[in-house]
Amino acid sequence: MKKYIAFIFLGIFAFGCSDLEEHPVGIIRPANFFNNTDDLQAAVNGSFANIAHNNYWGREFTIALMLRDDMSDIGDRTTQAARIDVNDFKMNDTNALVANFWPQSYIIIAAANQAIEGAKKTPGDPAKVNAIVAQAYFARAFTYYHLVRIFGDVPYIDFAVNEVSQVDKLSRTKEAIVYAKIIEDLEFAKKWLDDKPKVKAVPGKGTAAGYLASVYLTLGQYQKAYDEAKYVITNEAKFGLGLDADFQDLFNANKAAALKEPLFTIDFNNLVSGNYGQDYTAFFTGSLKDDSYSYGQGFSVAVPSLKVFNDWDQRDYRRAVSFDTIIRKKTGPGGSLQVYPSSDNEKAPRPHIAKYFRFPGKAGANGRTSQHNYITMRYAEVLLTAAEALNEITPGTSEADGYVNRVLARARNKAGKQVSFPANVTPGLSQVDFRKMVINERRLEFAFEYIRWYDIKRLKNGPEVFGPAGFEPHANFDPNRDYLFALPGTELAINPNLKPNNPGY
């Protein structure tokens, strides 16, 4: 992305400020802007820049998603209590992670709303204006899609806010209405976005349709989920999409620009002002005793349980890509390698997540920026969504088998060498068996990519996956409480119209 701009936005939803002070984000007011489509693009870029913020995709939001599922546990239990509480289902309405990513979500939305409002007075070819502002519609839908799945009913703001009084008494919007608004935004984006954007950090038609498929799958509207996924699959060449040959390349920062699989990425490279582009994922997942990263050692915060590692078939190439089983030390000539489990005062002596720590590219002067373009949705997800949805509509089709088989075939390409595992789907599976298979493939294919928690939530299988036989047992998991996070208590204190909080908080 090129330049971006943050407009003045006031109020509790942007900053969570308990005193209702007005905090300007920038010095350029909307009334003095939007003189051409370049100005509009700059405004749109502001929403994407805020997605890459430390309080959102850079750390606070994504680490909460990763820790909440059954694949990632706390490795170093001397880390902040807020992270442990999210992981252990002990969070309350004072959780520090939520206190950061809740207001950041509304900052993203505010920037998108300002761009959408500004588009109405931007001169130029209407088609070009719509193609640009469609990116803002996508950014707003993207952010609300996360909010509604995390919190359920949330305040829905679809207008440019210039005064605190416009939002300080808003109540929560029903989940069903929020979903309808998300679909409406994605439909606009699908209509007007470019077929094939020059970079994956800009959404295209396929991005909007892929997210529509995901939304409909979440809502259990399987025919619509299949239709949207099928639309992307039918047009994969037109949209410049496909499966990259080597699974490892998807997590190699130096190869990010050439990938065809991402539908949308978070670009940390060009967002280096203030706290923008502060990327902690590699650190949070890397070992405390591993010296291989350019800035130093990891934090061992999000670490898989040993059961997650041991359960994964050793013949699966994706296992080798997903896990690191070696601690790299810089002691002695050429350094040394220690194979897990290692003592050496390691906080979590078990395999760590390798997807982000192994090939991070240049980390920047302070080690907190990244060459990773983090993928929020991959083409493999579209294929598995189509397969899952089709199985719910018409079980036992070779078409559904074929979508899964494409993903499995790529998994058999081990760094250019074909292997025999994993085998193709067994033809003729029952609906129940196919459903179980495809959900497990999603678990393996997208391990540690912030998707698993949403699958657990939509499938309502928390008592099973967090039960005694699960990968990460939590006896205190409560299905009446824990599928939703608590809204920040400070927000409810400021605006009583947001009460009551979610059940159990």
pLDDT tens digit sequence for 356-415: 888 887 766 556 666 778 999 999 999 999 999 999 999 999 999 999 999 999 999 998
My answer on whether 188 and 327 are in the same domain is: no
Q: Inform me whether the pLDDT recorded for 11 exceeds 60.
A: no
Q: Inform me whether the pLDDT recorded for 54 exceeds 80.
A: yes
Asked, for residue 111, whether it belongs to a domain, the answer is yes
Q: Sorting pLDDT into bands at 50, 70 and 90, what band is 296? A: low
- 184 versus 166: the higher-pLDDT residue is 184
Cβ pair 342, 327 in contact under 8 A: yes
Cβ pair 274, 4 in contact under 8 A: no
Cβ pair 8, 29 in contact under 8 A: yes
Q: What is the mean pLDDT of the chain?
A: 89
Number of domains making up the chain = 2
My answer on whether 186 and 305 are in the same domain is: no
Distance CA 245, CA 421 (A): 15
CATH assignment at residue 148: 1.25.40.390
Distance CA 107, CA 357 (A): 29
Cβ pair 149, 95 in contact under 8 A: no
Question: Residue 296 gets which letter from DSSP?
Answer: B
Distance CA 267, CA 202 (A): 9
My answer on whether 123 and 18 are in the same domain is: yes
What confidence score (pLDDT) does residue 165 get?
A: 76
**Where do runs of H (alpha helix) occur along 337-421?**
379-393, 398-411
Q: What tokens appear for 342 in the block?
A: 């290692």
Q: For residue 115, which of 52, 188, 178, 174 has the smallest C-alpha distance? A: 188
Say which range, 30-39, 185-194, 335-344, 495-504, has the weakest mean pLDDT. Answer: 335-344
What confidence score (pLDDT) does residue 169 get?
A: 87
Q: ∠ CA(383), CA(199), CA(47), 5° rounding?
A: 95
Q: Average pLDDT for residues 216-232, to the nearest whole number?
A: 98
Q: For residue 5, which of 35, 37, 36, 49 has the smallest C-alpha distance? A: 49
Distance CA 301, CA 486 (A): 22
Q: Inform me whether the pLDDT recorded for 94 exceeds 90.
A: yes
For residue 31, the tally of other CB atoms under 10 A from its CB is: 9
pLDDT tens digit sequence for 413-444: 998 899 999 999 999 999 999 999 999 999 99
My answer on whether 294 and 187 are in the same domain is: no
User: Alpha-carbon torsion 487, 138, 47, 455, what sign?
Assistant: positive
Distance CA 392, CA 226 (A): 10
My answer on whether 162 and 293 are in the same domain is: no
Asked, for residue 94, whether it belongs to a domain, the answer is yes
Cβ pair 502, 481 in contact under 8 A: yes
Asked, for residue 243, whether it belongs to a domain, the answer is no
Q: Inform me whether the pLDDT recorded for 323 exceeds 90.
A: yes
Distance CA 26, CA 331 (A): 47
Question: In which domain, by residue range, is 330 found?
Answer: 286-361
Domain termination site, one of 361, 378, 405: 361
My answer on whether 38 and 183 are in the same domain is: yes
The full DSSP string for 260-272 is S-EEEEEE-TT--
pLDDT tens digit sequence for 136-161: 999 999 999 999 999 999 999 999 88
The residue written with tokens 């943050």 in the block is: 6
Q: What tokens appear for 185 in the block?
A: 């935004």
Distance CA 14, CA 23 (A): 9
My answer on whether 489 and 357 are in the same domain is: no
User: 3-class SS at 286?
Assistant: coil
Q: What percent of the chain has pLDDT over 70?
A: 86
Domain termination site, one of 330, 361, 392: 361
Asked, for residue 78, whether it belongs to a domain, the answer is yes
My answer on whether 188 and 292 are in the same domain is: no
Asked, for residue 333, whether it belongs to a domain, the answer is yes
Question: What pTM does this model have?
Answer: 0.92
Asked, for residue 30, whether it belongs to a domain, the answer is yes
Domain termination site, one of 361, 393, 422: 361
My answer on whether 26 and 170 are in the same domain is: yes
Q: What tokens appear for 48 in the block?
A: 């994407």
Q: Inform me whether the pLDDT recorded for 25 exceeds 70.
A: no
Asked, for residue 332, whether it belongs to a domain, the answer is yes
272's CB contacts (< 8 A; 6+ apart) are: 364, 369
Cβ pair 109, 100 in contact under 8 A: no
Cβ pair 50, 58 in contact under 8 A: no
The secondary structure element, H or E, covering residue 420 is none
What confidence score (pLDDT) does residue 270 get?
A: 60
Asked, for residue 453, whether it belongs to a domain, the answer is no
484's CB contacts (< 8 A; 6+ apart) are: 150, 151, 152, 502, 503
What confidence score (pLDDT) does residue 162 get?
A: 77
Q: ∠ CA(18), CA(19), CA(20), 5° rounding?
A: 95
The secondary structure element, H or E, covering residue 62 is helix 60-68
My answer on whether 44 and 174 are in the same domain is: yes
